[in-house]
Structure 1
Amino acid sequence: MSLINPNDSIERQNEKLLQIAQSLMRRVEQKNDQSGLAYQQFERAALLETQVRQRTRELEKTLDLLRETNARLEQANVETEQTRSNIAEAIETIDEGFALFDPNERLVHFNSRFCSDIGDVADQLKEGLLFSDYVTMISHSRFLAVPAGQTPEDWARMRLSHHSQDHVVFNVSLVWNRWLQISEHRTAHGGTVILQTDVTDMMLSEREERDKMLGQQTEILQATLDHLNQGVCIFNNQGQLVGWNKIMNRMLALPPERGVLGLPFSTLLLTLEKETVFHGGFSAEKLLRWTQRRAHRRPIAFEVTRGATRTLSIFAQEMPDRGFVISITDVSAERNATRALSQINETLEQGVIARTEELGEALADAVRANASKSRFVAAASHDLLQPLSAAKLFMSSLSDRLDEPDARLVLSKAENALLGMENIIGALLDISKLDAGEAAFDKSAVSLSPILALLRDELTPMAQDKGLHLTIIDSGLSILSDVGYLRRILQNLITNAIKYTQTGRIVVGVRRTGSTARIEVWDTGPGIAMEHRETIFQEFARLDQLNSSDGLGLGLAIVERAAKGLGHDLTLQSEVGKGSCFGLTVKIATGPHGNRLGLPKSSAKWGNAIEGMVVLLVENDLRLANAISLMIETHGAEVLLAHNATEAKNLLAEIQLVPDFMLLDYQLGPDASGIQLYRDLIDTYGRIPTAMISADRSEELHRACHTNKLQLLSKPIDKEKLLEFFTNALQGQNI
């Protein structure tokens, strides 16, 4: 049996041992005998004293360790509390509202800025608040601007749907035109952090910039209208006048702007009727009925005369928003010229009239299409290219009848001018797609010599008018590029050099450097400062205010974007006061190449291969149809002319004759196409060599022609390509 209870504490055990030792010592001292029992008790007492000392030292060590552990724990608690305080202060100092919800969707912590803009919710926030209750309070807050058509419950459902995502950022509209950006993120342990940022200033700034941009676009549109040589007025879908240009003011003597804005068309018609005579079976009542329709207005065109000698051409067309545009062109000079030239060759007269009238209509199309860029491109391609095609074919036919070299030279230059206009129009149609990223670049081997020669003929008179010397050095190189875009780039660079150079000269040349060529345009103009060298390639940028009325500053912007799309390196060297040099680096073509620009060539190589043949021509444009017919008949073939699909079918059925070739216009009316007519005719008469003619350059038409094995001849019709189609068909080559 042990004298010490092991369940006692160390202190109690030591106390008992000390008492036992003292008791034993007293007994030993009281006894005089030296018996063995007394000695044994003494030894036991000594042993017990040794154990007490050992236990005492162990106890002291244990107490020291306990005190050290308590000190460390206290320091850890102090550091933890300091860290918590620092985090709370840091969260409080941030500009955004902050809140933390735990994995159980309960609010753990938030700063004073959280929901500070939503006062009635901020007062109810407290730790332990459920997220769903927080959303409900927000949805019913009087400070929340619930979108029109939504209820607070709808808004709450929308907010909870955002909450289901791990990371989401969205804006919330408040009353008094204020905005909060909410950024919500899921933590690694399943909690949710919410940040609220006041973005009111940013939203207002964006609105201001948007309004400013709309104002600039309105100014650009007005400047475009004012640069047209036609009177243009735009009406909304209520028939009220909302826009017009200066030419319209002069033509109709409109009152000041504050008195004419919102003017009903019927009131404007009263002004138009004064001293006005309608022609072609048209009348003021018919025009008024057209404007009063709410939809499905077909374009109308007619002419009127005012006074004794003034003739106005009027064109009206509906816009996508059910409004309409009316353009008025003063064609008095053209009509007078037509009457004065009535005795000249009928073919040339028709060509001039077609070109004059169609160019006027194309300008009107450009104004009508301001609301839709793609619609403008389609209208311009159709209205501009048809008269050019007719004029080219008339001149090609006339060239075969002239024997005098001087006359043929003059006619050749006229053909070059028309061809230059054709290439410009084609380039403009493609360049309009650059901004939308839809431009199609047809890179192939291009001979520089024809392009430089054409630019020399076109731009030398312009330079001479300013007293400048323009030198364009010929080059026999062929390069890899798109002929239309390349010509447009060089024309813009040379035109800019002429416009900004007051004295001296402009030199255009080509340097060969290994596998590339560098086309350079040098001038002795004022030069371009370093800080302006990026600005000049921006839209509507003009450094010389003296020339601010000459164009809208789009030339170099087109150059820069077209060069980038073609992969040509465009560079600029300039010294203020001495001049500038624009350079275009292109790759040299290594394979065979031809006359990619399509300059006039002799048609003698085709001979009279189609003599005695019968060609069915279906074309709804009378002037173009006459021009194509004249050219074909000049080479000995007979032409069966029809103006629509029904007339073509009836004609072939009546004469019981299968033509050798067919030329079909793609656009034969709102409900008919050349493709459908071709299918109907081959079902009846079998397969006949056929070419589709159209100003439409869409990929859809190309695919349709390829599917039906049809040759596509783009307007304006090139005489050489048309004769090449006949020859290939006779030789049995694939069309």
Structure 2
Amino acid sequence: MSLINPDDSLERQNQKLLRIVETLMNHVEHGNGQSGEAYAQFERAALLEKRVRERTLELERTLNLLHDSNAQLAQAHEETETARRNLADAIETISEGFALFDGDDVLVMCNSRFCRDFRDTVRDLRPGLSFEGYVRHVSRSRHLSLPEGLSPDAWAADRMRKHTDRRVMFNVRHGQDRWLQVSEHRTANGGTVILQTDVTDIIRLERQERLKLKDKQTRMIRATLDHLDQGVCIFDEGAHLVAWNEKIGTLMNLPARRLHLGASFDGLMEQVEQNFRFSQESDRDLFRSWTERGGRRGPISFELSRDGGIVLRFFGRGMPDGGFLFSCTDVTAEREAARRLTEVNEMLEQRVMERTLELEDALSAAERANASKSRFVAAASHDLLQPLSAAKLFISSLSEKSADAGDKAVLDKAESALTSAEQLIDALLDISKLESDGLKFDIRPVALREIFSRLRDEMEVLAARKGLKLRMIDSDLTVETDPAYLRRVVQNLVANAIRYTETGRVVIGVRRRGGTARIEVWDTGPGIAEEDQSAIFEEFRRLDTRASSNDGLGLGLAIVERACARLGHPLGLWSEPGRGSCFMVSLPVVGSSAPARPAALGPARPQGLAQAGLIVLLVENDPQLRRAMTVLMESWGVNVIEAEDAVSALDLLADLEIVPDALLLDYQLGAGMSGTQLFGEITTRMGRLPCAIVSADRSEALREACAALQIELLSKPVDRHRLGRFFDAVVRGTLAAE
């Protein structure tokens, strides 16, 4: 049992202990018991006093802590109230309406401007109001202007759907054409902040600006319509006139009283049909059905004409709102120009036909002249060879009878001169035959061993005279060719190699490439510079100007080129100055998978080119090279138009009024225009044509330029095979286009 009730407060317990101590002390002092008991009671009293003192100290410390806590709590409460008053003052100073809902959608606080425009709801806006209750009160406010057909419950439901978004903004109309912008945002703890801003002035200003803009656009459209050189009229979905310009009345000959706002389309068309007629009767029915069609209309165009030759072009198009518009253009001058152009074209066609007949007559005359020349050369050569042979016999006889050394020297020179003349006549006769269209070849299988064996003895003597080593490698291959002309070709090539080789050797052999046998004549002569490799095939052209007529007449390679071209045997050349040369002739092997060449004779052509009848524009400023390429292409049946520079080429094309099938253009033409620039100019005038650039320039820049233009680049000297493949591609492209 305790003397002190623990449920008492500390002050009450302390008072009881003091009372107990005082009582005990009095009892000890006045008691009449024995001294031992008194002392024991004193000890108990002292002990109690100590405990009372300790409890008193503890009580004092506890009271101090309590007082400090109460002071801090009071200070915190004061600070909270101060902050709350500051926050309330702050939101009250906001010019917009402000409200804060907590995470449970319960109103925490709002300022006096919140929902002020909905005065009948202000009394219900108290802390603790739910968000749904707030929306319900606003939706039933008599100051809320709802859109037509929208009920308060529907507006409230839509407002609650917007509340599910984290951020939303919308306008609300209230009172007499006033507007509030409501902005709703989520806070970090899930609460909601609502701001209500009066945007009436902004909306009214926007309306005014919109009306000004609309009025300005109307004026601009009117100014634009009046500025157009075309007549324009616009009809609404009910086919009533809503906009037009003065030009439409002038072009359609409509009186001003007919053109007014709201004029019917049918009335206007009746007036138009009285003055105009449709160029095609079918256009009338098509136009009527188009105007009667409802909904969206596609484009339509037709022409009207009236007395005096006036022609108007109409173009109509539907508009998204169901209306339509028409534009009218005076095309009288264009139609008159087209008529005159037709007349001019007919006149030009007549002139072209006359020029064509003249050219055909001139071509026939040239062909007859060429045939007469060939017959004359053949006849003259035959008549000259006999007296030359007789003269040689007489000179030989005189040389044998003459004992004078000086006379013999003169006779030897005369015989040498006659021999050169005889060789010249033989060469001219061969060239004349090769250029004749009536030449017939004896195409048959020929063993190359037979050709080589007949030439070996003759060529070995010529090589031995110059101290050269001649090696002729036999071949077992059989080729398809004319044996006489093949022997002449190989003979000329070997003789030419021996003639221009001072030391070393000459080798003749055959390489097989699939179905082709290639005869190669190699020498260790001086070689031929790249720029001269095309010129050596020209008549009477010798690179060694110091050589005498006894060293050759400059016709051997010309004969080789013409014979190979007519036989269809590709001729090739490799040469490097200081290392020697190699002439190559390719022939089909008998029995191979290579396609057999026809025995019919005419100019040798790349495959498919004979039927093409190509017209090629050749622009080359080197006359000798231009002539060589012309002869080669004409031997293939290609019609060549020659020009030496870009200006001449363009003038020639304009005069002839034809479009060539292909272009062969030298890159360096001079006169400030390159071959690629000429190609661009021709493309501008005539459209894109197949083109090959011919140049000795092997720079990367030129290759890239040709690749960018997608045209062929043929390096000089021009390889016949590449040129032939180019024409084959042109023919295939032409046939595909047809």
TM-score class normalised by the smaller sequence:
0.3 to 0.5
User: Higher Cα Rg: structure 1 or 2?
Assistant: 2
Give the TM-score taking structure 1 as reference length: 0.45
